[in-house]
Amino acid sequence: MKTDFWKRFSKNKMAFAGSVFVALLFIVSIFAPWIAPCDPNQINLQRVLMPPSGDHFFGTDQLGRDVFSRMIWGARISLKVGFVATGIAILIGAVLGAVSGFYGRWVDAVIMRFVDIMLCFPAFFLILAVIALLEPSIWNIMIIIGLTGWMGITRLVRADFISLKERDFVLAARAIGAGDLRIIFVHILPNAMASILVAATLGVAGAILTESALSFLGIGVQPPTPSWGNILTAGKDNIDIAWWLSLYPGMAILVTVLGYNLLGEGIRDSLDPRLKGS
């Protein structure tokens, strides 16, 4: 099965390109202290709003800080937010979806009605409302994005559990006396990991985009911590004279989200049993 997956995945050129960019982003984030040529928070008022050059590849901002260095450190922030927020959403969604799909009846009805209620609220405006009541910080951003992004995962896991709980291996586990928790987390949940993996990959892209939007509005990651969103804010304030402050972070967000979406779709297509014959 693993061989079939890699064969189909390697044939998907767009998914492969997405995976390459995601891998490069990981490398840049991990080695940011060594790749960044300058301190991202070093202020130099003598080099304010300098255009891209050999000394500053992406120019400088309104405080004379090197934009290239801030972009590199901003990649680390974006990945941190994406993975932590998605991890929270996966944890909540997988547990609720597993319980809902396994037990059914009134348990399923209660959980799914709660999911329906949560889906009635526009997620972004719900996040804005919560952050308005809390101190805007990176940890609050990650937790809030995670707590508002689990509903789709719950539905996916529930659907998988409804299908899998009637399989022979589950009946065999019951026959040898396995309890409900063991059946859910040891026997069924690993077989639902394909859907969870795809949802997680796409969820990282969504979390990065949400964090960038919040930082752009000034209620996300707070300066001087570099974030692609707050670099864009500086670009908005100086759009007429410093085009580079908008172009580079905007392109970084675009390509990163596109890369994760391509990777997620490639994983989904490669894991789809209907494509085995292709």
Are the C-beta atoms of 154 and 99 separated by less than 8 Å?
no
Q: Count the Cβ atoms, other than its own, within 10 Å of residue 34.
A: 8
Residue 51 phi, psi (nearest 5): -70, 165
Residue 50 in tokens: 């300098």
Residue 235, classified by CB atoms within 10 Å of its CB into exposed (0-12), middle (13-18) or buried (19+), is: buried
Q: pLDDT tier at 5 (50, 70, 90 boundaries)? A: low
d(CA 92, CA 105): 20
pTM over 0.75: yes
**Average of per-residue pLDDT across 180-201:** 85
pLDDT in tens, 135-159: 777 888 888 889 888 998 999 999 9
SS3 state of residue 65: coil
Q: What is the pLDDT of residue 128?
A: 81
Residue 60 phi, psi (nearest 5): -125, 165
What percent of the chain stands above pLDDT 90? 18
Q: Count the Cβ atoms, other than its own, within 10 Å of residue 139.
A: 11
Q: pLDDT tier at 224 (50, 70, 90 boundaries)? A: confident
Q: Which structural domains are found in the chain, ordered by start? A: 2-40+60-275 (1.10.3720.10)
Q: pLDDT tier at 2 (50, 70, 90 boundaries)? A: low
Q: pLDDT tier at 88 (50, 70, 90 boundaries)? A: very high
Q: pLDDT tier at 89 (50, 70, 90 boundaries)? A: very high
